[in-house]
Structure 1
Amino acid sequence: MLSIFGKEPKERTIEERINYGFVVIDKPRGPTSHQVSAWVKEILNIKKAGHVGTLDPNVTGVLPVGLEKATRLADFLHEQGKEYVGLMLLHKPVPPEMIEQTMKEFTGEIFQFPPLRSAVARNLRKRKVYSLKILEIKERYVLFSADVESGVYIRTLCRDIGDALLVGANMVELKRIRSGPVTMSRAITLQTLKDAYTFYKEGDEKLLSSIIIDPEEVTKDYPRVIIKESAIDAMAHGSYIYRNGILEDMGDKGTLRIMSPKGELLGMGERVNDIIKPSVVLVDRDVYPRAWKTTPSRKKVYS
C-alpha cells in the first residue's frame, strides 16, 4: 500500500504539471530557438522556459521546451539522440549508386568540426551516425533521413558528403522529427499552445493537459533507481543516496533516473561505486517526512 506522501504522476494537478513538465513545439522557419522558448514563457505566463537542443532559424521541427523546474533537465535531454529529414543539393550531377555508396561510408563513427557559427569551440569531435538513408533522389537533390548522436551537425555532414563525392554539396532544408523519445506526434504549434492556455483560463484544461509531457516520459530512456521514502527528504536536502536507501536498482554505471515508489521523477544522478550522487533534484523539501537526523559533524544519517 502506498503512503500518503508524494503523488503519482497521473494525480498531479494541471498547475503541478506546468511546473514540472515539457511542451514540444513544431518550430517554424524563421525564429531562433531562444525566441520560441520566450514565446512559450509568455503564453503560459511562467517564470522559466528553456529549449532542448538548439535549431537554427531556418530549421523546423521538434523543439522540446522545459517549463519551470523541468528546465533543470535540459542537459539530460540534450544528450539523447536526434532524428532528421533533410534535403541536400549536390553542386554537380552524380550517379545515384555513387551517392548511395558514399552515404553508407558516413554511417558509424565520424569526425566533424562544428560550423563557424556554432556556439561551441571548433575542435575536431567524434560522433556517431546510427542511420543515414536516402529517401529520394531527383536530379541533384537528395532527400534523406538521419538518425544521429547528439552533437552531429547535419549541415556539416552534407558538406562533407559533397566533398567525398568531389562535387560539393550543401543542405537546403532540414526538419527534426525526433529528439530523444519525443517525436513529431507530440509537437504542436505556438498557436495551439496559446489556444490551450486560453481554454484553461476559461475553465477547460483538457487540451492543455494533453499537450504537457511529464518529466517521467521524456527521461524514460535512462535506467532508473527507485529509492525508499525514508531517503527522499534527505535527498531533497542535498544528501547522497546510499545502498540502504535504495528499494529497486535497475541501473549500472552512468546517468540514472531517481524515482519514488509512486513513480515520480525525483531527480537525476550518477553512480559512484555504491553511492548515487544526485546532480539534479526536482522534489521539494518536506514533501516526504524527515527520516534522518543531523549528527554533530552535520552529516545526514538515516534513523
Structure 2
Amino acid sequence: MICNSKLPQLNDLLSIDDDVTDEHYGYHPFSRPIDVLLDYGLIALDKPAGPTSHEVVAWVKRILAVESAGHSGTLDPPTTGLLPIGLGEATKALTVLLLGPKEYYAIARLHAVVPSKMLHDVVSMFIGDIYQRPPQRSSVKREVRVRRIYELEVLEEHGRLLLLRVLCQAGTYVRKLIYDIGEVLGSGASMVELRRTRVSMLDEDDMVRLHDLYDAYMLWREKGEEEKLRSIIKPIEYALMHVKAVVVRDSAVDSICHGAQLAVPGVLKVSKDLQKGDLVGIYTLKGELVALAEAMMSAHEIAEADKGIAFTLKRVIMKPNTYPKAWKSKSSSSSNSSSRSEVV
C-alpha cells in the first residue's frame, strides 16, 4: 500500500502525541478507489490553443462523467500549457497554487530592431518588484498593483523576434510585461505566443493532454485498468507539498468537517517550523487532506500547551461523515458537552 511517505509535507513532522487510525474509514491518498479519486483529484492539463479555460474544464467533466470540476489560473484562448484542474471537493484547495510561482515561455516581437546589449540591459531592469495595471479585458479590477518577477531571460533572438522565459508571481500579466519592456526600449513590443510551463510545484513533467485523459478513463471503464488513469489524476494532497502540515486524530476529523476549530488535544503532529499565522493543511493519520487552516500557535507553543485553539479553519475540503462522528450536538447532549461549532 502506498502511504504517507509519498507526501513530502508529512515527513519529518514534530510529534505532539501518538494515536492510531481506523482502516475502516477513509483511504490513503494514493490508494483511493478511482470513484473516490474522481472527487479528490488533481489534473495538470496541457491546454491546447483555441478553447477557453472554462471550455476545457467542461470537456474534462464530460470525459470523466463528474458533476464538479474547476481550474486555477485562467489561460486566454490562444495560450497553451499548464492548467491545473481540480475534481469535486478538490476544487476547494486549488487556491493554494496561487502561493507558488508561475513560469511562462513567450515569443515577443519588437516593433523595431534594438542593439542586443540594450535589450538585455532593459530586460534585467524588470527583475524584482514591478508595477502593473491589469489590461482592459482582464477579469480583475484595473488598479495598479505590485507583482514580483523572480527570473526573466532572453533565450533566443531572431531579428525582431525574441524567446523569453519568465518566472513570476501569480497574477502577473506577461502580455503587459512585454508591452512595458517595449516602452522602455522605445521600440515598442507585443506578445506573439505564450505557453505556461509551471504553476507552483506542478511543471511540464506533470502535464497530460485531453486525449490521454480520455484514453486512460476508457481503459478503466471498459477494461478495469487503473494504472494510466492514476498516473494522470493525482490526489489533491499533491498540490500542497509546499504548504505546512498538521496531522489530527481520527476522532477530530468529522468535527472539523462540520466546521469545528482545532484545539491542541486534537493535534498529533505539526511542521517543525510552523509559526503563528501560517497557512496549513490539516491531514488525517492516513494522509488525507481534511481542511485548510491558519495557525494560531507556533509549533513550540502547541508542544507546550495542554489546551487552546491551535488552528482556525479557512476551508473544509473533506466531506462530512467520511469518518465517524465523535462529537455530540447540543440537542442530544447534556449542558456541559461541546457542540460541533466548538473546538475539538
**TM-score, shorter chain, exceeding 0.5:** yes
Of 224, 239, 243, 2:264 maps to 243
| Distance in 2 separating the partners of 1:241 and 1:183 | 33
Of 28, 45, 52, 1:25 maps to 45
Partner SS, residue 234 of structure 2: coil
| Distance in 1 separating the partners of 2:21 and 2:328 | 24
The reply to whether residue 97 of structure 1 matches residue 128 of structure 2 is: no
The reply to whether residue 271 of structure 1 matches residue 292 of structure 2 is: no
Normalised by the length of structure 1, the TM-score is 0.94
Partner of 1:225: 246
Partner of 1:139: 159
Of 310, 315, 335, 1:280 maps to 315
Partner SS, residue 38 of structure 2: helix
| Distance in 1 separating the partners of 2:58 and 2:169 | 27
Structure 1 position 272, deviation (Å) = 3.6
Q: Is the 8 A contact 1:293 1:302 kept in 2?
A: no
Normalised by the length of structure 2, the TM-score is 0.84
Q: Is the 8 A contact 1:266 1:282 kept in 2?
A: yes
Of 322, 325, 339, 1:290 maps to 325
Partner SS, residue 147 of structure 1: strand
The reply to whether residue 186 of structure 1 matches residue 186 of structure 2 is: no
Structure 1 position 168, deviation (Å) = 0.6
Structure 1 position 271, deviation (Å) = 2.4
When structure 1 is superposed on structure 2, of 276-285 and 16-25 the one drifting more is: 276-285
| Distance in 1 separating the partners of 2:212 and 2:31 | 24
Partner SS, residue 54 of structure 2: helix
Of 183, 205, 208, 1:163 maps to 183
Q: What is the Cα-based RMSD across aligned positions, in Å?
A: 1.8
Gaps of 5+ in 1: none
Partner SS, residue 328 of structure 2: strand
The reply to whether residue 213 of structure 1 matches residue 239 of structure 2 is: no
When structure 1 is superposed on structure 2, of 249-258 and 237-246 the one drifting more is: 249-258
Alpha-carbon deviations, 1:189-230, whole Å to 9, x = none? Answer: 111111111111112222111110111111111111112222
Alpha-carbon deviations, 1:257-294, whole Å to 9, x = none? Answer: 11112211112112245531222222232332333334
| Distance in 1 separating the partners of 2:26 and 2:59 | 32
Q: Is the 8 A contact 1:82 1:149 kept in 2?
A: yes
Partner SS, residue 143 of structure 1: strand
| Distance in 2 separating the partners of 1:127 and 1:195 | 39
| Distance in 2 separating the partners of 1:158 and 1:262 | 46
Structure 1 position 70, deviation (Å) = 1.0
- Aligned-pair identity (%): 37
Aligned length: 303
Q: Is the 8 A contact 1:113 1:123 kept in 2?
A: yes
